[in-house]
Amino acid sequence: MPHPKPVEKIRLSEQKPKLRFLLVVCMILLAVGAFVYGIMHWLGKEDGWITIDVNSAAELNCGSEFIFQYYLGDNGLSATAEHKLVSESYTKACVNAYQLFHNKEIGTVHNVGYINAHPNEEIEVDEALYRAFDICAAHQNRNLYLGPVYELYDSLFYCEDDWETASFDPVQNEELKDFFAEVAAYAQNPDEVELQLLGNNRIRLYVSESYLKYAKEEYISNFLDFYWMKNAFIADYLADTMTSEGYTKGSISSYDGFVRNLDADSGTEYAFNLYDRTGNRVSLEGSMNYAGRKSIVYLRNYPMNSPDFQHYYEFEDGSIRTPYLDTKDGMERTALNNLVCYSADAGCADILMEMIPVYIANEFDQNRLPDAKESGICSIYFAEDELRFNEEAIKLSGVDINKILAFFE
């Protein structure tokens, strides 16, 4: 049976205590330095592409609806320092955008919710919100005034079973259909409701006495609402804010199809995926490649990702409800499964305003797209298993050779 070896006791020298103390201190400093270096290396950023997130400690914001891809290390700062600056600016912009375009009152902010609560009063608003209203007015877009319909219809998308949807779906509910038509009639008429632009960022939401009476009877509180359109305006706001502060090496995109590429001159090539829907099957059909600053609007009548539950409901029979309501009668309709429009000059909001009357319609009229092209807006869409486009110099990749590529004037 083996025996353990005897333990030899060694006495430590008690000579030169100062030297021993200095050695201990040096070892501690070395350990702390190594620890700090490890933490900094872990927290530090490297040059290259990165997703910029909103600060987790920020107030309520719209960051969860957007992805901001940015290239670090191109302005002379360290990647870590640049990331901090970009993140701070982006976080502030996302907080501001959420507050401005929200249809509920937030503190003392003169946002959409505040305007709804103060009809027929002169109000000073933020320049970004004033510009958004100005864009709607310039395009004579009245979808903004379907607020009462949006408020009720929105509940449809949060239903979990088909039987719940009848209370919010005018297709199934005749009483609701009549209400939507009544609201749409008010929304169409500037003599009943009109957002008046008074200059110097001052506005007045005019609401007639008859509409106010109707609103009181029907418990209406939201006369106007950007609703599904708001991310087009917010994408522009975020992009314009970042570029104005010198942050241009990136691209901002929302989950619901609004993209602003900020990169004007690096020569970096980007790709935008193109999808088509056959029945309830959605398939990737290739991509559009491009370089330089670009705004893209992707309208579709089918869900693509998890956040889409906010704007799409799919019934057991495969039919789908979308947020695209027509100002003619308040009913949902789309002329195509998908329509992609883009421009090097116009923002997402201007593109959307041009495309709404084309896309929210009973039938698709291709002849209306050339008018948009004169404004610098090009289009891509699928029809009869055919990819159609109207940009002569378009760059496509990954498109099935069996697909017919059709250029139209």
Query: Which of helix, strand or coil describes residue 254?
Result: strand
* 250-254 vs 258-261, strand pairing mode: antiparallel
CB 372 within 8 A of CB 352: no
Contacts of 173 (CB under 8 A, 6+ apart): 166, 167
CA distance 352 to 129: 16
Q: Measured between alpha carbons, how far is residue 299 from residues 84, 231, 282, 283, 349 in Å?
A: 34, 12, 14, 15, 13
CA distance 286 to 270: 13
CA distance 64 to 378: 29
Contacts of 306 (CB under 8 A, 6+ apart): none
Q: In what order do the strands lie in the sheet with 395-397?
A: 269-278, 281-291, 395-397
- Residues facing 67 on adjacent strands: 253
Classify residue 55 by its DSSP letter: P
What's the confidence (pLDDT) of residue 403? 80
Could you write out the DSSP letters of every residue in 164-223? GGGGT-TTT-HHHHHHHHHHHHHHH-TTTEEEEEEETTEEEEEE-HHHHHHHHHTT---S
Which CATH entry fits the domain spanning 50-99+229-407: 3.40.630.30, 3.10.520.10, 3.90.1170.50, 3.40.50.720?
3.10.520.10
Query: Which of helix, strand or coil describes residue 65?
Result: helix
Report residue 397: phi and psi, to 5°: -140, 150
Query: With the CA atoms of 14, 20, 25 and 26 taken in that order, what torsion angle do they form, in degrees rounded to the nearest 10?
Result: -160
Query: Which of helix, strand or coil describes residue 310?
Result: helix
Tokens 């509920």 — which residue? 104
Strands (E), 103-171: 122-124
What's the confidence (pLDDT) of residue 395? 94
Classify residue 59 by its DSSP letter: -
pLDDT tens for each residue of the chain, 409 residues long: 444 444 344 444 455 555 544 544 445 555 545 443 343 333 456 878 999 999 988 889 999 999 999 999 876 678 899 999 999 999 999 999 999 999 999 999 999 999 999 999 999 999 999 999 999 999 999 999 999 999 999 999 999 999 999 999 999 999 999 999 999 999 999 999 999 999 999 999 999 999 999 999 999 999 999 999 999 999 999 999 999 999 999 999 999 999 999 988 888 899 999 999 988 899 999 999 999 999 999 999 999 999 999 999 999 999 999 999 999 999 999 999 999 999 999 999 999 999 999 999 999 999 889 888 888 999 999 988 889 999 999 999 998 877 878 887 7
What's the confidence (pLDDT) of residue 31? 53
pTM: 0.88
CA distance 191 to 242: 39
Sign of the torsion formed by the C-alpha atoms of 167, 172, 173 and 178 = positive
In degrees, rounded to 5, the angle at the alpha carbon of residue 8 between the alpha carbons of residues 3 and 12 is 160
What's the confidence (pLDDT) of residue 145? 98
What's the confidence (pLDDT) of residue 135? 98
Q: Measured between alpha carbons, how far is residue 187 from residues 103, 140, 196, 311 in Å?
A: 17, 12, 14, 21
Of 283, 240, 234, nearest to 255 by C-alpha is 234
Of 337, 349, 241, 249, nearest to 297 by C-alpha is 349
Task: Give the residue extent of every domain in the chain.
Answer: 50-99+229-407, 108-224
Tokens 């049976």 — which residue? 1
Tokens 């670009």 — which residue? 294
CB 403 within 8 A of CB 384: no
Tokens 């409701």 — which residue? 193
CA distance 401 to 390: 19
